[in-house]
A and B are shown apart, each in its own frame.
Chain A
């Protein structure tokens, strides 16, 4: 009985998040923002459970995973369970963190059916240690200006283009590549 309840609640969460995400992918920014907000709670709980020895890293990794979900969102196939896709990304970022810190923990974590991620949520965000604003400020202008104008100041692509003297397509490309460059900076690859 408990197992059935657990599966039902999982399915309800999967459906709700997938619906929000798919609407986001087709251009509904409000749905997308709700999706990212709810996802961040699941990510936090998922990562906190797995970073017991590195509690200070949790919020940084939540942010990194959110950025990865955003940058790689074009790889999602709607015929695939959203939980499997998101969990693979979260796990990849987690493993990447361990790899970077050369901590290879023996983890007996064989349950990888994509049902873990939505099993608990944690809405309490800790303070991130890494300041993304600082990393953003370090990006070259052709990345920094498009992100600043369209993503932080809320200008349209056209307004951002007028203000920065860049073309509209350069703004769009700049946002896309700039956020990827930001992810690379976080990994220390840039």
Chain B
């Protein structure tokens, strides 16, 4: 086929493009994914029994704020990376700020704490399960977000997959906050982040194979 004929073919009956904006697609994907993650959490983990008490603690909201900020920053990254030619200059800053903030609080807590308490602050009671549970809860959001992303046009598939994994991990972490009994900043700054990075690492591999067009 000659290029000229291809152009004629592509333009023939092309019509208006009426597709929902990328932001809308992702909102829907995150909504469904978060619902799936919540169901998983309720079925397998249950909400922490003293949630009413936890809601009154400032540190609970710092924790929720941390993962919500991460989710927002990775959503921003996902949106940018889904569109060819979009700039991602300050995405690393948006992602880095909540992490640095949490690390600052963690460092402060550790310095203030009695030497004997420090390892308790870092390891809590659940460090063995926390990252894996967050990774497990990220699966539904990961699936819906990757699906939406493959309808768009990421020109950097590995990086886009990484951002999709971060988004899935941090939304899962928001849901996990309802179950998790830990409130130590060092714990959150390390094990939560690790849990979020597991799907992100998976995203690099999946992006490379699934997000090509």
Contact = CB atoms under 8 A, between A and B. Distances in A.
Interface of A: 24-27, 29-30, 32-33, 36-37, 40, 59, 62-63, 66-68, 70-77, 80-81, 84-89, 91-92, 96, 114, 125, 127-128, 131-133, 136, 147, 150-152, 154, 156-157, 175, 179-180, 183-184, 187, 189
A189 B13 CA distance: 27
B9 interface: yes
A86 B9 CA distance: 20
Interface in B136-174: 152-153, 155
Q: How large is the interface on B (under 10, 10 to 19, 20 to 34, 35 or more residues)?
A: 20 to 34
A68 B9 contact: no
24 contacts: A29-B11, A30-B11, A36-B10, A37-B7, A40-B7, A68-B153, A72-B152, A74-B19, A75-B153, A81-B85, A84-B84, A84-B85, A84-B86, A85-B85, A89-B84, A89-B85, A89-B153, A114-B85, A127-B2, A128-B1, A131-B1, A150-B13, A154-B13, A175-B13
Contacts of A84: 84-86
Given A36-B7, A128-B1, A151-B9, A29 B14 contact: yes
B129 interface: no
A71 B153 CA distance: 9
A30 B11 CA distance: 7
A127 B153 CA distance: 28
